[in-house]
């Protein structure tokens, strides 16, 4: 297990022993942690057991379930509470009347929402690939896999860890925390309750992440007794403001949070900083990698671990330095590995990737 200010030894032989303090992360010998973004979402429909199984098989140290709630208060794994793009809900005429327009985190969104379905109803749906034809292998599994609860994911991960003889971490993200609290379905107490019920969640590597601030601050004292739990502050576009601050009329942007003062503040309640990859090395006008911002080193000086999201293997997501001539939507494993390695040279402690096999190769 690892304490609040420690990280885990990465790699296929992930150990559950404590490693070095976050302030020494830049000098540590442990390899960066590979975090399966929604599983292995480049190859299987995201947030399905198939996606998580593929991520684990390919060497992910952590798998990521994004958490939203059902009408009856069950935590399920979906990237958004709007399931129009990631399920076949539109093909179920019995749910046609559930289509709605809502304001989520200040934006109007139209679709079908998890909070309008019971778990039994959601189990009638099947997952589908969000990026469609861009990911033909994943798309070939459309309709094959059901939606899963966080509890099912935990049990599956515990079984995989036992079978493989290594701990497998979970890195759940609390999605739209302010919104779900406003409709009487707060996510955080449900997550804490499951931690209390699950022996695996009480001993396995567990990192709770959020783009909001208040929920992480509130969670800090509540998870202080769990030596295996860390908190991760996610960062959006610099000009944006965490929605819980917007909802309460407070000021402060993500850019402010990445300043020296902001990093020091984050370090009082979180263990990780995780901005988009380009926050570490931005692109220039030609779409090539520019100069380092020094953010990873600054975060580590503040006592934080430096993570990032998300590396994707298709050309359209790569910096121009690493693209090949196969087309925007083509997979480019060689280019993806090279790009990841360039960012790892910044001293990152962990990273999200849609293709953990490529992430593992980059670390090796």
User: Buried (b) or exposed (e) across 247-285, using 16+ Cβ within 10 A?
Assistant: beeeeebbeebbeeebbebbbebbbbbbbbbebbbeeee
Q: Residue 278 above 50 pLDDT?
A: yes
**pLDDT at residue number 6:** 43
135-154 pLDDT, tens digit each: 999 999 999 999 999 999 99
Q: Residue 301 above 90 pLDDT?
A: yes
Q: Residue 25 above 90 pLDDT?
A: no
Q: Can you give the CATH number for the domain in which 145 is found? A: 3.20.20.190
Mean pLDDT along residues 250-255? 96
> Rounded to the nearest 10 degrees, what angle do helices 49-57 and 150-164 cross at?
30
How distant, in Å, are the alpha carbons of 56, 169, 242 from that of 307? 19, 15, 18
**Tokens in use for 5?**
């200010």
Residue 207: domain span: 22-81+136-363
Is residue 226 in some structural domain? yes
Is residue 304 in some structural domain? yes
Is residue 128 in some structural domain? no
**pLDDT at residue number 30:** 87
Is residue 87 in some structural domain? no
Q: Residue 43 above 90 pLDDT?
A: yes
Distance CA 314, CA 73 (A): 36
Question: CB burial class (10 A; 0-12, 13-18, 19+) of residue 321?
Answer: middle
Instruction: Centre a 10 Å sphere on the Cβ of residue 27 and count the other Cβ atoms it contains.
Output: 9
Q: Residue 165 above 70 pLDDT?
A: yes
**pLDDT at residue number 291:** 97
Q: Residue 17 above 60 pLDDT?
A: no
Is residue 238 in some structural domain? yes
Q: Domain count of the chain?
A: 1
**pLDDT at residue number 123:** 98
Distance CA 316, CA 332 (A): 10
Is residue 178 in some structural domain? yes
Mean pLDDT along residues 196-219? 98
305-346 pLDDT, tens digit each: 999 999 999 999 999 999 999 999 999 999 999 999 999 999
Query: How many Å from the N-terminal Cα to the C-terminal Cα in the chain?
Result: 23
Distance CA 259, CA 245 (A): 17
**pLDDT at residue number 29:** 57
Is residue 107 in some structural domain? no
**Cβ distance 170 to 205 under 8 Å?**
yes
Is residue 7 in some structural domain? no
């Amino acid at each position: 297990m690892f304490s609040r200010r420690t990280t885990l030894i990465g790699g296929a032989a992930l150990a559950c022993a404590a490693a070095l303090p976050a302030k020494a992360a830049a000098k540590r010998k442990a390899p960066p942690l590979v975090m399966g973004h929604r599983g292995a979402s480049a190859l299987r429909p995201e947030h399905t057991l198939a996606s998580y199984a593929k991520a684990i098989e390919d060497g992910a140290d952590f798998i990521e379930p994004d958490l939203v709630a059902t009408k009856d208060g069950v935590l399920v794994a979906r990237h958004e509470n709007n399931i129009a793009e990631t399920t076949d809900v539109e093909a179920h005429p019995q749910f046609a009347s559930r289509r709605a327009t809502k304001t989520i985190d200040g934006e109007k969104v139209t679709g079908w929402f998890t909070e309008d379905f019971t778990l039994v109803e959601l189990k009638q749906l099947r997952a589908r690939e969000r990026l469609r034809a861009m990911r033909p292998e994943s798309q070939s599994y459309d309709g094959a896999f059901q939606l899963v609860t966080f509890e099912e994911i935990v049990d599956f991960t515990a079984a995989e860890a036992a079978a493989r003889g290594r701990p497998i971490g979970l890195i759940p993200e609390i999605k739209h925390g302010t919104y779900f609290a406003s409709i009487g379905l707060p996510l955080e107490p449900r997550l804490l309750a499951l931690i209390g019920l699950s022996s695996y969640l009480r001993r396995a590597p567990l990192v709770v992440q959020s783009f909001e601030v208040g929920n992480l601050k509130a969670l800090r004292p509540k998870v202080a007794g769990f030596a295996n739990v860390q908190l991760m502050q996610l960062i959006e576009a610099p000009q944006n403001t965490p929605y819980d601050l917007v909802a309460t009329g407070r000021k402060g942007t993500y850019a402010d949070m990445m300043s020296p003062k902001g990093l020091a503040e984050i370090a009082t309640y979180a263990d990780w900083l995780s901005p988009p990859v380009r926050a570490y090395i931005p692109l220039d006008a030609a779409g090539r990698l520019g100069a380092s911002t020094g953010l990873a080193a600054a975060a580590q000086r503040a006592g934080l671990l430096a993570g990032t999201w998300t590396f994707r293997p298709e050309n359209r997501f790569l910096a121009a330095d690493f693209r090949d001539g196969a087309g925007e939507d083509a997979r480019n494993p060689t280019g993806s590995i090279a790009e990841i390695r360039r960012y790892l040279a910044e001293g990152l402690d962990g990273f999200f990737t849609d293709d953990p096999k490529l992430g593992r190769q980059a670390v090796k």
